[in-house]
Amino acid sequence: MRVEQLFTTPLVITRLNIHDLFLTCMDIEAENLFGQVRSNLNGYQSTTDVIFDDRFKQLREEVEALIRGSFSIEPKIINGWVNINRKSGMNRRHIHQGSSLSAVYYVTDAYSPIRFHDPRPMNVWENGPTTHDFTPSKGEIIIFPSWLDHDVEPNLTDEPRISIAMNVCK
């Protein structure tokens, strides 16, 4: 007899040694005050081309190297944006269309979790978990398949929760 694991969902979680991007992200918000509305509620999201700003060069290079080493592919970052969620700010459940992998780098502590939802239409194990929460700390990155449904719980602190999300194609 043997047991096979089918259709597993890879997640990479690690810490990057990136120079502090807190002030850079706050400057991005000030430069583009209105940003855009995508999955955010009561929060700020920059335009999706901000990742190509020279101030994010080190982050782009580190993410590409991490993906190369973890997934054995040649990654191409196609877009990326800054998320700033102050008190009560959150992101609704969503996926990232048009890409293979997505990454979220945490400029600050997350304070509240990013929640991933089981992609299977029904949970195979009765009463088993249908979601999995991670509460990353400053400097951590999560890389996941872009089709994986996720949301971010409201920030309940008085500190801004800042992350940088990006999408990658092979």
Q: Hey, what CATH class is 12-169 in?
A: mainly beta
Domain assignments of the chain as residue spans, ordered by start: 12-169
pLDDT tens-digit series, residues 48-82: 999 999 999 999 999 999 999 999 999 999 999 99
pLDDT value at residue 123? 63
| 23-30 own/partner pairs: CB under 8 Å, 24+ apart | 24/55, 24/56, 25/82, 25/84, 25/107, 25/162, 25/164, 26/84, 26/162, 28/53, 28/82, 29/82, 29/84
Predicted TM-score of the model (pTM): 0.92
